[in-house]
C-alpha cells in the first residue's frame, strides 16, 4: 500500500520537547482529527504530535491501515516495542475441581468438564458466575446444580425474551419432578410458569418461574411473595449497568431472605468496560469487590467520558480475584478436545464502488453539516453513530449481488449454510434473492413460536439455508446442522461475531466450522474488519489474558476519518 506521508522524531522548535512530526496532506488531515494534542508545524501539510504512550499507540493504530514512511526507524522501533511490551503475567488461579455426581432429580448425563462445573457450583454454595465460553452447556450445568443441591426450588430464571422457550425445553429434558414428600416421578418434569405479561397478579405455585429482563421490574412484587430459593440470571451481562430498572429489580430479589442461591451465566459477562463486572458480582456475591467507589479506586481510572476503565496493570489481578472466589471460565479449546477448530476466512468480493462512493459523499456532507450545528457532545456523538450505521448499510447494498453469488456457490458444495446480516433491508433482499433454496429466517420481531419453528426446520434439514439477523440470532439457538457460516455484513462488536459463530461451533458439532467474512472490495469493510473484529477489548484481557485493546471511541473516529479520506481521494 502506498505511503500517505512521513513520520520523524524531532526536537520541536517552540516547545523544546522531543515530538513526532508527520507530513503529507492525507496524513495531516487524518491525524489532526484523531489526536487532539496535535499542533501544526512550520510548513504546509506538517503536524507535530507530543511523544507520549497514548499518541504512539494512536499512531500505531493509524499506521496499521494507512502506512507512513518512517524517517526515524530506530527510535520508532524502540518506542513501539516499549509501548507494546507484554506485562509479566500473574500465575493463573488453578481450580481443583472433581467430577461431581448429579442428584437423582437430574435426567441425562453430563460430560466430564460439566461435572467439574457442577462441583464448582457446589463449592461456591450456589453463588457463582458461570462464564464458560458459549456452547459449553452452562444451562445444563445450572440445572444439574438445581437437581443436586438441597432446597433450590422455587427457582426463578431471568433471561432474554428469545431464550424463554429454550429454558422450558431444557427443564423438561433434564429435570425430573419431585413430589412434596420427596418422591421422584420419572415420567414428569418440574412445573414451569413462563411470565409473559407485566400486569400485576398473583402467581400460581410452581417449581420454576421464567421471566424476561424487561418484565422483571413490573412483576417484582408478585415474585417477592412466592418464596423463591434460587435466582438464575442468564446472559447476565444484561445487568452490567447498575442504573437500570432490571438491575434494581434483580438486586432487590437477590437480597430477599428466602434466596440462598444466586447464579449468573454468560460467555461474555463484560461487553465494553471491565468496570461492568462490579454490578454483576455485587448481586452474586455482595461485598466481594467492595463498594463501587472502592472498586474504582483500586482497579480503575476514569476516562474523558467519565467511564471507569480497569487499569492495564490491574486486569490480571482482577481476573485472578474473580476466579478465586466467584467465576468459572473455561474455553472450548481447553475442555472439548474432540471439537474441531473454527477456521475463519476474510474473503474479498467485488462491490459497486460507484454507488458506494456517491453515497459516502452524501454521508460525509451530512456529517459535516450536523457537526457544525451540534449544540452538545451528545449530538456530535449521535451524528457519528448515524454516519457509521449509514456507511455499513451502503457497504452491504454495494456488495449484495456478489454476496448472493458467494452464497449460491457454497450452497452447491454444502448441504446447510447459515448467513448472518445486520440490517433488515439486507435481510429482506437476501431472503428474496435466494428463494430457490426456500430459506428459513431469524429476524427481530418474530414471535417465539415462529422463531422456534424456523430453527427446527433448519435443524431437521427441511431447509438448507438460514438467513439470520446477527443481533437476533446470536444467542439461545443451536444451528449445528451447518458447518458453513457466512457474514454478509460486519457488526460493531467482535463479541457479537463470536456469539454468532458459536451457534454452530458448540457441543453436537462434528465438523470443522468454516466462517467466511465477506469484505467488499473498494469499501471500508477491510478497515472495519481489522479495527472492530480482530482487536481485543479491555474485557478480553480480564477474561482470557488477551493483550491489546483500543477504546470504541477511537475506532469510531478512525472510521469517520477514513470515510472523509475516501471521499477526498475520489
Task: State residue 53's pLDDT score.
Answer: 84
Task: State residue 285's pLDDT score.
Answer: 95
How many angstroms separate the CA atoms of 292 and 86, rounded?
Answer: 29
Could you check whether 112-335 and 342-568 share the same CATH topology? yes
Listed by start position, the domains of the chain span 6-83, 112-335, 342-568
Q: For domain 112-335, is the CATH number 3.60.10.10?
A: no
pLDDT tier, 527 (very low <50, low <70, confident <90, very high otherwise)? low
Around Cβ 153, how many Cβ atoms within 10 Å?
Answer: 18
How many angstroms separate the CA atoms of 24 and 44, rounded?
Answer: 9
Determine contact, residues 283/254, Cβ cutoff 8 Å.
yes
Task: State residue 564's pLDDT score.
Answer: 53
How many angstroms separate the CA atoms of 484 and 460, rounded?
Answer: 16
Of all residues in the chain, what percent carry a pLDDT higher than 70? 88
pLDDT at 88 over 70: no
Where is pLDDT greater, at 277 or 312?
277
pLDDT tier, 552 (very low <50, low <70, confident <90, very high otherwise)? very low
pLDDT digits (tens, 9 = 90+) for 126-143: 999 999 988 889 999 999
pLDDT digits (tens, 9 = 90+) for 11-44: 887 777 888 999 988 888 878 777 777 787 878 7
Q: Which pTM value belongs to this model?
A: 0.66
pLDDT digits (tens, 9 = 90+) for 219-250: 999 999 999 999 999 999 899 999 999 999 99
Where is pLDDT greater, at 222 or 549?
222
**∠36-39-42 over CA atoms, to 5°?**
165
For the domain spanning 6-83, the CATH number is: 3.40.1170
Strands (DSSP E) found in 138-225: 155-159, 177-178, 184-185, 192-195, 208-212
Where is pLDDT greater, at 312 or 321?
321
**Alpha helices (runs of H) in 276-325, residue ranges in sequence order:** 277-284, 292-299, 315-325
For the domain spanning 342-568, the CATH number is: 3.40.50.300
Amino acid at each position: 500500500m502506498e505511503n500517505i506521508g512521513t513520520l520523524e522524531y524531532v526536537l520541536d522548535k517552540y516547545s523544546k520537547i522531543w515530538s513526532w512530526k508527520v507530513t503529507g496532506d492525507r496524513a495531516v488531515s487524518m491525524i489532526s482529527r484523531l489526536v487532539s494534542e496535535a499542533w501544526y508545524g512550520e510548513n504546509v501539510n506538517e503536524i507535530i504530535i507530543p511523544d507520549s504512550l497514548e499518541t504512539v499507540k494512536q499512531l500505531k493504530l493509524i499506521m496499521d491501515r494507512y502506512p507512513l514512511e518512517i524517517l526515524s526507524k530506530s527510535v520508532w522501533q524502540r518506542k513501539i516495542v516499549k509501548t507494546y511490551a507484554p506485562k509479566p503475567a500473574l500465575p493463573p488461579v488453578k481450580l481443583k475441581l472433581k467430577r461431581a455426581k448429579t442428584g437423582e432429580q437430574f435426567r441425562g448425563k453430563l460430560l466430564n468438564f460439566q461435572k467439574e462445573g457442577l462441583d464448582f457450583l457446589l463449592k461456591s454454595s450456589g453463588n457463582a458466575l458461570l462464564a464458560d465460553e458459549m456452547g459449553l452447556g452452562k444451562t445444563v450445568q445450572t440445572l444439574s446444580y438445581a437437581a443436586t443441591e438441597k432446597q433450590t426450588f422455587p427457582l426463578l430464571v431471568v433471561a432474554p425474551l428469545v431464550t424463554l422457550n429454550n429454558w422450558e425445553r431444557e427443564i423438561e429434558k433434564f429435570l425430573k419432578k419431585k413430589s412434596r414428600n420427596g418422591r421422584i416421578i420419572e415420567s414428569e418434569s418440574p412445573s414451569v410458569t413462563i411470565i409473559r405479561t407485566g400486569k400485576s397478579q398473583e402467581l400460581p405455585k410452581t417449581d420454576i418461574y421464567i421471566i424476561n429482563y424487561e418484565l422483571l421490574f413490573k412483576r417484582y412484587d408478585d415474585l417477592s411473595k412466592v418464596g423463591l430459593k434460587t435466582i438464575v440470571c442468564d446472559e447476565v451481562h444484561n445487568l452490567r449497568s447498575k442504573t437500570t430498572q432490571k438491575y434494581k429489580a434483580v438486586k432487590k430479589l437477590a437480597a430477599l431472605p428466602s434466596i440462598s442461591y444466586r447464579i449468573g451465566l454468560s460467555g461474555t459477562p463484560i461487553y465494553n468496560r471491565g468496570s461492568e463486572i462490579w454490578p454483576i458480582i455485587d448481586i452474586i456475591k455482595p461485598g466481594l469487590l467492595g463498594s463501587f467507589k472502592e472498586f474504582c479506586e483500586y482497579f480503575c481510572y476514569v476516562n474523558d467520558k467519565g467511564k471507569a476503565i480497569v487499569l492495564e496493570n490491574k486486569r490480571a489481578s482482577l481476573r485472578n480475584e474473580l476466579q478465586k472466589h466467584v467465576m468459572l471460565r473455561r474455553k472450548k479449546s481447553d475442555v472439548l478436545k474432540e471439537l474441531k477448530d473454527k477456521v475463519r476466512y476474510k474473503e474479498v468480493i467485488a462491490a459497486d464502488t460507484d454507488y458506494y462512493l456517491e453515497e459516502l459523499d452524501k454521508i460525509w456532507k451530512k456529517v459535516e453539516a450536523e457537526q457544525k450545528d451540534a449544540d452538545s457532545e451528545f449530538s456530535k456523538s449521535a451524528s457519528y453513530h448515524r454516519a457509521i450505521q449509514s456507511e455499513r448499510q451502503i457497504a452491504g447494498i454495494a456488495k449484495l449481488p456478489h454476496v448472493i453469488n458467494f452464497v449460491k456457490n457454497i450452497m452447491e458444495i454444502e448441504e446447510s449454510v447459515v448467513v448472518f446480516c445486520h440490517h433488515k433491508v439486507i435481510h429482506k433482499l437476501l431472503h428474496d434473492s435466494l428463494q430457490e433454496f426456500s430459506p428459513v429466517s431469524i429476524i427481530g420481531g418474530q414471535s417465539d413460536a415462529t422463531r422456534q419453528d424456523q430453527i427446527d426446520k433448519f435443524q431437521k434439514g427441511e431447509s438448507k439455508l438460514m438467513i439470520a439477523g446477527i443481533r437476533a440470532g446470536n444467542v439461545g439457538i443451536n444451528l449445528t446442522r451447518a458447518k458453513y457460516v457466512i457474514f454478509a455484513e460486519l457488526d460493531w462488536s467482535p463479541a457479537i461475531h463470536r456469539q454468532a459463530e458459536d451457534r454452530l461451533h458448540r457441543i453436537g458439532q462434528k465438523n470443522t466450522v468454516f466462517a467466511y467474512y465477506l469484505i467488499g472490495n473498494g469499501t471500508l469493510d477491510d478497515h472495519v474488519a481489522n479495527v472492530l473484529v480482530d482487536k481485543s477489548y479491555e474485557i478480553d484481557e480480564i477474561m482470557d489474558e488477551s493483550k491489546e485493546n483500543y477504546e470504541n471511541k477511537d475506532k469510531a473516529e478512525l472510521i469517520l476519518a477514513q470515510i472523509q479520506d475516501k471521499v477526498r481521494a475520489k
